[in-house]
Structure 1
Amino acid sequence: MNSSQKQRTVLVCQNCTCLARGAKALLEAFQAADLPDNVEVVASDCLGQCNMAPNVRIIPEETWYCRLSPEDIPRIVQQHLHEGKPVAEKLHPRIHSYYIFS
């Protein structure tokens, strides 16, 4: 890893509501993806946004994605994790309203 690249973690909620809405498949899609070297994927406990499940949080930049399907993962990996541009239409609207509506 290049020292100028910060380590990033993709937290994929694996709690009740997210699991019921397909979070296991999201986790598997992230794990199977061609991720940058500075990115790790972690199954997480509840992220506290159950009404918008399934949820993914990317730290340290605090990007929150919601209502995802496995089909969304390749675009998030390429556009966000490789190119540094969040996928606006999949961002959590309450957390990222400044980004979505600006």
Structure 2
Amino acid sequence: MADSPANAPAHHPQRRLVTVCQNRSCLRSGSEQVLAEFEKHRTPNLRVSGSECQGQCSSGPTVRVMPDNTWYCQVTPADVAIIVDEHFSGNQPVARLLHPRLHQTASSYAHLAAQAQGDPD
């Protein structure tokens, strides 16, 4: 017997934990405001927490998403709504914010090359 929509299993959003580094160098780069923006999007399936140093000081503010093990770097308060929309609602990590040393993609290599040449973007 074919499954009908009434018999289909209910879709449950994935539970996630977002940690935002609150150590000195990330704080100087605005991580307190990034954490505050994530707090605005807290739901029963999205826990948000400040963290100790995540060991990526030169790339801060650093945000880690679990259980995905996704690392975002140089996150601004304006980026938070994009992460929530694209990653948490659409299940597509935001490629331009992925930490280039931890997520090896073609855009990561372009980002590293730009940094090596002194391009801030």
| Bucket of the pairwise TM-score, normalised by the shorter protein | 0.7 to 0.9
Conserved? CA contact 1:88–1:99, under 8 Å: no
How many residue pairs get aligned? The number is 100
Structure 1: which amino acid aligns with 2:49?
V
Percentage of matched positions with identical amino acids: 39
Query: TM-score scaled by structure 1?
Result: 0.87
Say whether residues 1:45 and 2:52 are aligned partners.
yes
- Equivalent position of 2:24 in the other structure: 16
Query: TM-score scaled by structure 2?
Result: 0.74
**Whole-angstrom distance in 2 between the partners of 1:63 and 1:6:** 14
Shift of 1:9: 0.2
Structure 2 unaligned residues grouped into runs of 5+: 1-9, 110-121
Q: Indicate the RMSD between aligned Cα atoms, in angstroms.
A: 2.0
Conserved? CA contact 1:9–1:40, under 8 Å: yes
Query: Which of 1 and 2 has higher RCO (CA within 8 Å, sep 6+)?
Result: 1
Residue deviations 1:54-87, cap 9 Å, x none?
A: 1000011100000011010100001001111000
Shift of 1:98: 3.3
More strand per residue: 1
**Whole-angstrom distance in 2 between the partners of 1:94 and 1:32:** 29
